[in-house]
Each structure stands twice: as C-alpha cells, then as structure tokens.
Structure 1
Amino acid sequence: MFAYGLLACAIISEVIGSTFLVKSEGFSKLVPSLVVVVLFSLAFYLLSQVIKVIPLGIAYAIWAGVGIVLTALIGYFIFRQNLDIPAMLGIALIVAGVVVINIFSNSTGH
C-alpha cells in the first residue's frame, strides 16, 4: 500500500509540475521553470521507488493515466481550456483502463 501512496505523490508532483510548465512560458520565467524541474525530478524519483514494488508497465500506466485526467481537469478548470466530446470520451476510456488494471490485473502487486 505504501507504494501506491508514493505513486500518488509522484502523480501529484507531475501534475503540478505540468501546471507550472504552462506558467514558465517556454522556460522563460525563472521561478515557474525551477518549480517544473524540481517537481518533475521528484516525480521521477518517486516513480523509481514505486517500480521496486509495482511492475513498471502497471505503475507507468496508472501514473500516466491518472496524470492525463488530472492535467486535463486542471486545463479545463484553471486555464479554461475546453474539452469536446471526443476528448471527454478518451479521458473516460483512460479512467476505465486504470480501473480495469487495478481491479482485475494480477500484475499490480496488490
């Protein structure tokens, strides 16, 4: 269970880092750029600890899937970026994939 807590922290670090990536304006603003580097570094460090327990493919699928969903939600609510029906359908399929992996896969190391 500890590995899933680290995975959640890795996801949160990556999502916040991605949010600051927008604010860095192409790495032209120092503080947001530093936040991106620190948070992405933390995210990858945490992921490297997670894959000691959870297989890489499973951990990365969860990390990427949840990260995509959270980043899309931040884009929608904070940056007012619209999501059309195909985008929402795709996000729903990603969520379904993460749920299937966690509920039905024996590879997750529960």
Structure 2
Amino acid sequence: MKQWYALILAVIAEVTGTTMMKILGGRESIEGYFFIFGMIGLSYFLLSKAITLIPMSTAYAVWEGLGLMIITAIGCLMFKETLPLPKLVGFSAILLGIFLLKTGTTGGEKHE
C-alpha cells in the first residue's frame, strides 16, 4: 500500500514541477530552476519506490496519465488554456485506460 502513496506523491511532485515551469520558465531565476529540477527529481525518486511492488507498466501509466489530467485541469483553470472536444474525448480515454490498468493489475503485484 505504501507504494501507491509513493506513486501519488510522485504525481504531485511532477505536477508541481511542471506547473512551476509555466510560472517560472520565463524568468532567469536560478532558484526557480533548482526548485523545478528538485520537484521533477523527487517525482522520479518516488516513482522508483512505487515500482518496487507495483508493476512498472501500471505505475508509469498512472503516473503519466494522472499527471497529464491534473496538468490539463491546471492549464484550463489557472492559465485559461482551451479544452476542445477532441482533447476531452482523448483525456476520457486516458482515464478509462488508467482505470482498466489498475483493475487488471491485482493478480500481478508482489506483496510485502
């Protein structure tokens, strides 16, 4: 179970780092870049902890898919980016895929 917590924290770290790229990317602040790299690095570290018991394909799909969904929501809400119907359909397919991967993984996981 703690691997799933690590995976969720990895998603949060990745989303934070990616959002900060948009916010700080235009500035020449070295501290901002250290923060961005730190969050992305933390995300990969936590992902590496998650795949110790979660199948790698499932963990990576969840990490990337949830990150994409959250970043899309942040883009729409904070930065007024548009979400046309084809994108919305695509993201729905990603969510369905994550759900199917998660439900089909229970037999292949290692247990502590």
TM-score of the aligned structures, taking structure 2 as reference length:
0.89
Give the unaligned 5+ runs of structure 2: none
In structure 2, the partner of 1:56 is 56
Cα separation, 2, equivalents of 1:109 and 1:94: 25
Cα separation, 2, equivalents of 1:108 and 1:27: 44
Aligned pair 1:102/2:102, yes or no?
Answer: yes
In structure 1, the partner of 2:28 is 28
TM-score of the aligned structures, taking structure 1 as reference length:
0.91
**Equivalent pairs, count:** 110
Deviation at 1:56, TM superposition (A): 1.2
In structure 2, the partner of 1:80 is 80
Give the match's secondary structure for 1:91.
Answer: helix
Structure 1's consecutive aligned runs of 4 or more residues displaced over 3 angstroms after TM superposition are 105-110
Give the unaligned 5+ runs of structure 1: none
Aligned pair 1:5/2:13, yes or no?
Answer: no
Deviation at 1:108, TM superposition (A): 4.8
Go from structure 1 to structure 2 and tell me whether the alpha carbon gap of 1:95 and 1:109 turns closer, same or farther (over 3 Å shift).
farther
Contact 1:101–1:108 under 8 Å retained in 2: no
Give the match's secondary structure for 2:79.
Answer: coil
Aligned pair 1:19/2:24, yes or no?
Answer: no
Aligned pair 1:92/2:92, yes or no?
Answer: yes
In structure 2, the partner of 1:66 is 66
- How much is the aligned-residue C-alpha RMSD, in angstroms? 1.7
Aligned-residue sequence identity (percent) comes to: 28
Letter in 2 for 1:99: F
